[in-house]
Chains A and B, each alone.
Chain A
């Protein structure tokens, strides 16, 4: 597969996943606020949604106060912010457009349609008149696209690059949500054991679409169980370990290297992260510190991103006897 095409497929599915994560986050917040009247008056109620992005400085400089409207606009339509839903869909669509010949037409058409619909809802901020429906429509559209890919794409390189992009993005987002939300929820000692406490933890689970599946495994909501589930559950498709394992499988299907071995830096990085997750347990993580652990995972994911670029997408140098003076920028 052409390096450029592989790159575009990887980013197409990654941006789509990123857009839908933002939608999920806002939708959960909208729900949570309805359950917590005290939050409705709290001027910082929407601030965690800015903190999660790691772009708090940008927000306070370019946008201002973290009001509901500002935060929603920032996450949804801000064209200057590269991780807003609209920006992500623009990028997903642009990438999809450049690989239309490789992906099933329905995928291109659905991404195109989703983009056009979201862009159309910016006019007079129509989206915010019925935000629950708006964000849930985005989720459904994304599920539809992933579903079409699941039923219509051959399990070749294109498929595995899209899996790689999707799972790496999801691993990153789950770790980020967990990292930020955990520490925001934890200090509210006055809520501990109260129904408020449960509402907040449930919201965290809902923002990763994991509430129902969590309930099937643990009936009690507890911080340690939540960490266990979102990091180490091998069966839940948004847990970090699941995402990393599936990304790894796709990588090794692309390269043809047997799992457990490595031929290059990328495969080595993957093996390292996978070992870290597969052989750790939640009590150890809690004793060394969740934040430190997640920080470490995120830095591993960053290294993997760089290695993917170097390994597959970077322009390859040419040695040509006819073009000794020829160089590639």
Chain B
């Protein structure tokens, strides 16, 4: 298998400028792969898949009687990011998370940004992710979004854009670490050929980020990751992270609140908990405050949080900043809180709430992507060019019924990379989710999750919609 017959077509291909002409930073990688004996690459791909299976990095059909399990599809051809590009991503993502954190704090406290007329009160209060219960909250050190993931894409010219912000419980970082581990054992020789920045530092950084939330006076704090349990599709990640940081993995039923302190039920009685990295949504966190039917959460947790007796990462209410209607204001938000222009631009976004924008979206629906403002995971999305007239009509009706809930964006032809398809390479569209930790400082893990739309021509990379992943190699320098 080699790249001789690979055709990048009319897309921005991250490996090839045009057919037979690899980009400078990728040439070494391509030469190594081209030098493999026939079938070698296919065998390594199989070995990598077997490694994931044995590590139990599987999802979905757990509990299925047949015992069938699937791995999250993985392609062993890495995605490479130049040091120059990473520098831009690093600065851009830090700037964004800094400003969004300021924004969340402001929304739940003084609301200066509303008073100064930058963003309307209505658009904030009408968001499904706005939590009135968080009004007046003052989390430790003013940090709300400790752990976030910013989805980036590149267009047909290679320009980076922010597609989405994930400030609630973004998942995927365990795949970044797992993919890397598997790649090191699968293609060590290829790995050696390039100066690749390591990703192993993440768990230390995560520990620091969580420790930063706890008063120094507590010498031996207890920290835990709160999971919905083993049937959750991201359970692997929860247990993996708990193992990596060496802290407890708890479920709601392991915790209890007494006199506004949170305790774990242990074999030796109750033990106080100081910080929780919660991997369940706001709605399920505390049935006495949010969704009363939640069995996953901990009754009384919010009261303990308000009393300052336990820290939560992320703070409740952060979803307001990743609402897709609010997203369209992020450039103004950045300007307002930092005085700077956005380093990485937004994708142009039309709010269906706005009459003029709405008409524009409806008139051009066949060339637009329509998203719900609170959705994630690619659910409830319409991709104009790939939809039927009926689907478009249905979407127009949905928009008219509930305009606040929809935004439209012009379709962007995402950049592509080669993936292994049977016995040859084909180009597939990708995105990138760098992971960001906000502790004493803001840290961006040099790597991130590259998601691949495995179906030919598809622009949807979400794992719930048939997406896979690749290891992401950030180069330490571009001088090679």
Q: Which residues of A contact B (CB under 8 A)?
A: 1-6, 79, 90, 94, 97-98, 100-102, 105, 108-109, 112-113, 116, 119, 157, 254, 312, 315-316, 318-323, 326, 328
Contacts and interface: CB of A to CB of B under 8 A. Distances in A.
B265 A315 contact: yes
Nearest to B63: A94
A254 B243 contact: no
Contact of B269 (A315, A316, A326): A316
A254 B242 contact: no
Given A1-B266, A100-B240, A320-B256, 13 more contacts: A1-B267, A2-B266, A3-B265, A5-B249, A97-B239, A102-B249, A109-B54, A112-B55, A320-B257, A322-B303, A323-B257, A323-B258, A328-B256
Interface string B220-260: 00000100011000010001111100011111011011111
B8 interface: no
B56 A97 contact: yes
Contacts of B257: 320, 322-323
A112 B243 contact: no
Top 5 A-B residue pairs of the complex, sorted by shortest distance between their CB atoms = A101-B242, A101-B243, A100-B239, A320-B258, A112-B56
A116 B240 CA distance: 20
Given A322-B258, A323-B299, A101 B250 contact: no
A64 B424 CA distance: 53
Contacts of B270: 316
Contacts of B260: 322
B266 A320 contact: no
Residue among B67, B241, B248 facing the most chain A CB atoms (10 A cut-off) = B67
A157 B267 contact: yes
Q: Is the interface of A mostly helix, strand, loop or mixed?
A: helix
Contacts of A323: 257-258, 299-300
A320 B251 CA distance: 20
Interface in B286-329: 299-300, 303
A158 B468 CA distance: 36
Q: Is the interface of B mostly helix, strand, loop or mixed?
A: mixed
Nearest to A110: B54
Interface in B343-399: none
B243 A321 contact: no
Contact of B264 (A2, A109, A112, A113): A2
Given A2-B248, A116-B53, A315-B265, A98 B230 contact: yes
B65 interface: yes
Contact of A4 (B65, B240, B251): B251
A109 B55 contact: yes
Given A3-B265, A323-B300, A318 B53 contact: no
A138 B217 CA distance: 51
B112 to A, nearest CB: 35
Given A119-B67, A254-B267, A326-B299, A100 B258 contact: no
Contacts of A90: 67
Contacts of B303: 322
Nearest to A315: B265
Contacts of A98: 229-230, 239
B296 to A, nearest CB: 14
A98 B53 CA distance: 17
Nearest to B256: A318
8 contacts: A5-B248, A79-B65, A100-B243, A101-B241, A101-B242, A119-B67, A318-B258, A323-B258
A320 B243 contact: no
B264 to A, nearest CB: 6
A3 B267 contact: yes
Contacts of A116: 53-54
A223 B99 CA distance: 81
A303 B437 CA distance: 50
A118 B155 CA distance: 48
A101 B239 contact: yes
Interface in B384-434: none
Nearest to A313: B267
A295 B236 CA distance: 43
A255 B164 CA distance: 51
A2 B230 contact: no
A267 B248 CA distance: 27
Contact of A6 (B53, B225, B251, B267): B267
A5 B250 CA distance: 9
Contact of A112 (B54, B240, B249, B300): B54
Contacts of A254: 267
A328 to B, nearest CB: 8
B304 to A, nearest CB: 10
A316 B265 contact: yes
A97 B230 contact: yes
Contacts of A102: 243, 249
Given A101-B249, A320-B259, A322-B258, A312 B240 contact: no
A61 B34 CA distance: 62
Contacts of B230: 94, 97-98
A94 B300 CA distance: 30
Nearest to A314: B265
Contacts of B239: 97-98, 100-101
A118 to B, nearest CB: 10
Contacts of A322: 257-260, 300, 303
Contacts of A4: 251, 253-254, 265
A312 B256 CA distance: 17
Contacts of B256: 318, 320, 328
B190 to A, nearest CB: 25
Contacts of B53: 116
Contacts of A108: 56
B64 to A, nearest CB: 11
B200 to A, nearest CB: 15
Nearest to B249: A101
Interface string B194-236: 0000000000000000000000000000000100011000010
